[in-house]
A = this chain, B = another copy of it.
Amino acid sequence: MTTAWSERFARRTHGMQSSAIREILKVTQQPDVISFAGGLPAPELFPVAEVQAACARVLQERGRQALQYTITEGYPPLRQYIVEKMARYGIPADPDNVLITSGSQQALDLIGKVLVDEGDPVVVEAPTYLGALQAWQPYGPRFIPVPIDNDGMRVDLLEPILKRHRPKLMYALPNFQNPAGTTLSRERRERLVHLASDYGVPLIEDDPYGELRYEGEHLPPLIALDCQKLVAEGKAGSDGLLRGDVIYLSTFSKTLAPGLRLGWIIAPVEVVQKLVQAKQGADLHTSTFAQMVACEVVRGNFLENHVRRIRAFYRQRRDAMLAALEQYCPPGVTWTEPQGGLFLWVRLPEGLDAEVVLRDALAQKVAFVPGRSFYADGSGYNTMRLNFSNAEPDRIVEGVRRLARAIERHLEPVHVAR
């Protein structure tokens, strides 16, 4: 008997598809393409020499440990480092609140596995991080998109949704959001944390870019506000342990190197314990070696100093892109002005489809990701995400010039009419 494998796949796979980004990235492998499509850090910033020195030290001093299995929770000194790092951002974590993950993509998968039942309503921003939609889709949520504006998620629209749908969780990227580059305002942060607590809805705070702020004032993480609120209300507990409704995620991918695949989760102890059980089944633990090497590289103040360099570097690229958009884009095209991160968001005039523009742009050797992929409901046909971290400033200017031309061609009356 011959059965097609496609007939054997589980129902949860039916919505799975390869990320549109990964498909576009294949085109952008050609060296003459100017790509705004990926979300890749600039490799010229990777601390290669420091990683090499760390590998040598780790293997010389603790080689057997580095190559052996370790505990699922993560390498204890790395968890301790993260505790201290988090404290600087007002997050009162204990090592038992920290789980090391294989990139923060795994954090999203584990959270979906542990919290999302089939049919559960899940509030997401519109647009939101594509990888979260991909991670959670197999667990069968019903996504409820909430629009964003220049100040991030429209928190003012949330309460009726919370009342009506009683979501299983809410998902927010407060800093320099992927894809839109927007930042949630201080007022909205306060309000969002109160709503999560008033309605008892877990809030997932995804913060891969928080350290990459190029201007403006640092805003407190949602989890820090939630902890402050519990203290103010006398509900913080006498053990001093982190509790509350927020689960915080971050990563070393944007500050150290994505190729190590290291992220972390900060959550109440009982959540970490459940996530640990899920992680045991998923990959036993994250690479011992990668954890020990990263821990060796980042300790002391290396990472803080390194991130200062990254900020100066990306800020220049962001500025180049903003200036080029200003110079070349036809009227009717608008974009966000991110205070940090890797991305900005372009909105085309109504009626113009970014996927049509993409075909033309690719012919001109420029790539970007059409915005539709970032909407749980497939809307956003006239939007696009531009990445500015992975090309040199003069290439950015040239790329934007070509892209603006491609847009312009489609704005001629015959195209607008379609």
**Residues of A at under 8 Å CB distance from B?**
1-3, 5-6, 8-13, 16-19, 22, 38, 40-41, 43-44, 46, 48, 51-52, 55-56, 59-60, 63-72, 102-103, 105-106, 108-109, 113-117, 120, 131, 134-139, 168, 197-200, 202, 235, 253, 257-261, 268, 270-271, 273-274, 276-278, 280-290
Contact = CB atoms under 8 A, between A and B. Distances in A.
Given A56-B52, A59-B52, A18 B268 contact: no
A64 B259 CA distance: 9
Given A2-B200, A43-B68, A48-B67, A168 B114 contact: no
Contacts of A46: 63-64, 67-68
A16 B281 contact: yes
Nearest to A133: B281
Contacts of A22: 71-72, 280
A261 B283 contact: yes
Contact of A55 (B5, B56, B113): B56
Contact of A137 (B66, B271, B281): B281
Given A40-B68, A277-B16, A283-B103, A1 B114 contact: no
A27 B273 CA distance: 19
Contacts of A202: 5, 8
30 contacts: A1-B198, A1-B199, A2-B200, A5-B268, A6-B270, A10-B139, A12-B117, A13-B113, A13-B274, A46-B63, A46-B64, A48-B67, A52-B55, A52-B59, A55-B56, A55-B59, A65-B259, A67-B257, A67-B259, A68-B258, A102-B287, A106-B282, A106-B283, A137-B281, A259-B288, A261-B283, A261-B285, A261-B287, A282-B282, A290-B290
A334 B55 CA distance: 46
Please tell me how many copies of the chain the complex holds.
Answer: 2
Nearest to A110: B282
Given A48-B59, A289-B290, A280 B19 contact: yes
A118 to B, nearest CB: 9
Contacts of A288: 258-259, 261
Most chain B CB neighbours (cut-off 10 Å) among A8, A17, A235, A259: A259
B43 A105 contact: no
A13 B277 contact: yes
Contacts of A280: 18-19, 22, 131, 134
A138 B67 contact: no
A270 B276 CA distance: 31
Contact of A289 (B6, B63, B260, B277): B260
Contacts of A71: 22
